[in-house]
Structure formats: structure tokens, C-alpha cells
Amino acid sequence: MVTGDNIVTARAIAHKCKILDDEQMKDEECCVLGPKFYDDMGGLVRKLKDKPSQIAGDDVPEKDIYEEVRNIRKFEVVKDKVMVMARARPEDKYLLVTALRNFEEVVAVTGDGTNDAPALTKADVGFGMGRTGTQVCRAAADIIITDDSFTSVVKACMWGRNVFDNIQRFLQFQLTVNVNALLTVFICSALMKGTPLQAIQLLWVNLIMDSLAALALATEMPKEHLMKRPPQQRKDFIVSRKMMKHIIYMSIYQFFLVGVFVFAGEYIIPEDDEFKSDPNQCCVDPGREYSIDGEPLWYAVRQVNGNQYSRHITFIFHQFVFLQIWNMVCSRKIHDELNVFEGIMTNWTFLVIWVIIVALQFVIINYGGRVFRISTAGLNWQQHVLAMVSALSVFVVNFILKFVPDKYGFQMGPDSVYDRACAQKQQVQQA
């Protein structure tokens, strides 16, 4: 808290607002006077961006300089201890904001007066009071609080974090679909000289189902626990290591499962007698066009099935889509929460869109026919059940991955503050 009031009043208000606890109330170093703080830090020094060791002159353009606390090491010692600044002048507020930004902290400032304008401009986010704030204050602010209520700041932060989480939810789902599709099409095509997923089928997966999934995953409402975690840092990647862990290992598992049914489906997938090329066989005819050694497979039995597309490959498409449908539910939780169904019944938008996707998939399988290059006879109920039940295994894999340390995930950038806090908490619990 930075205020122009005297230190006794500031300390009392800070304690009432729970900025200071009982122990901090006894510590004189937790509350400082603005002018004394400025003198202790030695003010600010202007340096050249390209030559940090050189002091910038008055004739250097603002875009080529950056400001730094003169006694920056002294500030490093007290920056986590000072909680209240009293009798603060505009230059004291500006110094504090600049010092925090020197340590790459994300700084938000609220104010209502003209003397708050420099700090509002310097901060990452400036909140100006819409009712009592001066015109200069409102002009310097990034966001205007129309009702002058600090609860609105909390709501704004909560919704901002929720939007960020919603973007991460969709990215985790989308990238898992894309990586799995890439592995399936590339490797299976190389081995069987024909892709198990046709272009029109991938169009449904990527353009239609993923668009609907984006709407579903973007409708998660903010929860109170969002405000209990540290804020994101500037250098945090939107795709965190935790997300990469789920994306990579879930994609590999889905590819493995699909691959098993692609290359061993004739021993697993049940089939009706009328679609069997050999009455003595128990399962579906292999839908691979060629074997690994180059011998034709599907061409040999295609005439028996009326020269239509394979029910085996139709099953693969159905299973692939249901892997993504179930994984969409798992993608609702991106911070390794154990219960992926928590709050799902309160999100009617997600439920409606999810049901629409499932219904459209059944319509495509049963009536899509040659448009989607699948069997015009669709699938029987045993094949439907097998595709859906086998795809349910993504819930088991997702649950197991929550206990896999994030360090085993591919790192695109530094771990986020929240991920590091979770890792530290897990280490403490294990100890």
C-alpha cells in the first residue's frame, strides 16, 4: 500500500485490510516513509539500453534509455519486506514501480489523483478511478474503474487469468489432436501405403470439431482459486511444460492405441457375417490397402463388400474422433487437478456443444457414406461400443500423467510461476 497519509494511519489501515499481519505490525521495516525510502535507494539513474554500463545524457531519446534504481542491490534486500509506504510523493511512487520492474515483476497501480499519473504510466497496468479520479489520472491509466471499487480490480484480474487458462485449455486440446493426427497419418501411411484418415475426415476433425471445442473450452467460468496463485510473468510461455507433458504423452498413447487397431483390427474388431469375405473368420476384414511387404489386402476382399469403403477403416475414424471427444473433457483441467469432471454440470454451454459433437459424429458414421469415404453401412452396435470404450482409456492416461513430474515434459520456455509453486508444494508434501 502506497499512500500520502502518515505512517500511523497507514499502518492501521494496512492491518485492517490484512496487508500487514500481527507479526508484521511489530516489524518497523515493513512500513517506510516515502522520502526516506527514496534517499536510501539513491533515486533513479538513466542508462543506455544497448550499453547498460553507460549513463544516458539528457539529449538521448527516451526510447533508447531505461531507468534503474541506483542502489539496486539494497532494494533487492528490502523489496519483499516493505509492505506499506507512507507520506509518499509522486517521485517515491515512481521509484517503487521502476524498482519492481527492474526485477521483472508485473506491476499494477491504482490511483485517483494527478500525482499518481507518473506511476500509472510506468506500471504494466494502470487502474484509474472513473468517478473520483482526475482527468490527468484517467488519461494516464490503462483501465478505468467506472465504479471506483477495488472489488472490480479483483474481478478484472480473475477474468484475465480465466481467459488465459481458457486459451491454454484449447491449445492443449488442439495440439494433442494435431500431433496425434500427424503421427497417425505419417507413420501409418509409410507402413501401409495408404492413410487410415482421409482428407475430408481430417477436415471434420480440425475445422468443425475443433472449432466447436474452442467454443466449449472457452466458456469455463472463473473460480475463486484463480486468485490464490501467483501471477504470470512476462517470460512465461503460453504453452507451459505441464501442458507439453500432457500433449506429448497423450498424443503418443493415442497414436499407439489407433495403431494397434489399424494393424491388428482384423483380430479385435467384431463383424457381421454379411460383411465377411470368409465365413470362418471372427472379425472384420483388414482395411489396409497393402501389407508391409507390398501385398494387396483390401483390394482382395473389396468385391465381397459391394466395392464400398472398409468397415475396419471406418472404425478407426470413429475411434480417433472419440479419443478427441473424451480428451476434450480432460482438457478442462490444465493444472493437474485430479477431478476433471469438477464443475462440468454447471457449464451448460460445454455440455451442449459436447453433445452436439457426439451427435454429429454418429450422424456422419451412419449417414456420411461416400462423402466422408466411410462404409455406407456404418458400424454395428458392437463396433460403436468398442470404439467408445477403448477411447475412454484417455481418462486413465490423463490421471496417470498428473503424477508424472513436469521435468519429463518438453520445455518450450521457462516454467511459469504457478508451475514452479506447484512443484515446490509437491516436493514439500513428498518430504
CATH code, domain carrying 327: 1.20.1110.10
Q: Based on the domain organization, do 196 and 102 belong to the same domain? A: no
**Cβ–Cβ under 8 Å, residues 177 and 205:** yes
Q: CA angle, 34 as apex, 114 and 42 as ends, to 5°?
A: 110
**pLDDT score recorded for residue 258:** 94
Q: Based on the domain organization, do 251 and 216 belong to the same domain? A: yes
Q: Based on the domain organization, do 316 and 177 belong to the same domain? A: yes
**pLDDT score recorded for residue 325:** 94
Q: Which residue among 153, 177, 192 closes a domain? A: 153
Q: Based on the domain organization, do 258 and 340 belong to the same domain? A: yes
In a domain, 159, yes or no: no
**pLDDT score recorded for residue 32:** 93
Residues with Cβ < 8 Å from 263, sequence gap 6 or more? 191, 192, 288
Rounded Cα–Cα distance for residues 85 and 194 (Å): 70
**pLDDT score recorded for residue 426:** 57
**Cβ–Cβ under 8 Å, residues 390 and 261:** yes
Q: Based on the domain organization, do 168 and 306 belong to the same domain? A: yes
Q: Give pairs for 287-292: CB < 8 Å, separation 24+.
A: 287/196, 287/311, 287/312, 287/313, 287/314, 287/316, 288/192, 288/194, 288/262, 288/263, 288/312, 289/192, 289/193, 289/194, 290/192, 290/193, 290/194, 291/192, 292/191, 292/192
Q: Which three cell numbers stand for residue 17?
A: 485490510
**263-291 burial by CB neighbour count: b if 16+ within 10 A, else e?**
bebbeebebeeebbeeeeeeebbbbbbee
- Low-confidence residues in the chain, pLDDT < 70: 52, 290-308, 409-431
In a domain, 116, yes or no: yes
Q: Based on the domain organization, do 137 and 256 belong to the same domain? A: no
Q: Based on the domain organization, do 115 and 201 belong to the same domain? A: no
- Map residue 58 onto helix, strand or coil: coil
Q: Based on the domain organization, do 110 and 189 belong to the same domain? A: no
Q: Based on the domain organization, do 416 and 292 belong to the same domain? A: yes
Chain-centroid distance, C-alpha 425: 20
Rounded Cα–Cα distance for residues 429 and 181 (Å): 38
In the chain, the largest separation of any two C-alpha atoms, in whole Å, equals 94
In a domain, 2, yes or no: no
Phi, psi of 290 (to 5 degrees): -135, 155
Q: Based on the domain organization, do 121 and 168 belong to the same domain? A: no
Q: Which residue among 153, 175, 204 closes a domain? A: 153
In a domain, 234, yes or no: yes
Query: pLDDT above 70 covers what percent of the chain?
Result: 90
In a domain, 210, yes or no: yes
Strand partners, 6: none
Q: CA angle, 228 as apex, 214 and 409 as ends, to 5°?
A: 55
DSSP 1-30: -B-SS-HHHHHHHHHHTTSS-HHHHT-GGG
CATH code, domain carrying 68: 3.40.50.1000
In a domain, 158, yes or no: no
Rounded Cα–Cα distance for residues 271 and 217 (Å): 36
Q: Which residue among 99, 128, 153 closes a domain? A: 153
Q: Based on the domain organization, do 133 and 201 belong to the same domain? A: no
Q: Which residue range(s) make up the domain with 140?
A: 7-153
In a domain, 1, yes or no: no
Q: Which three cell numbers stand for residue 154?
A: 479483483
Rounded Cα–Cα distance for residues 316 and 319 (Å): 5
In a domain, 94, yes or no: yes
Work out how many domains the chain is built from and give that number. 2
**Cβ–Cβ under 8 Å, residues 84 and 14:** yes
Q: Based on the domain organization, do 110 and 204 belong to the same domain? A: no
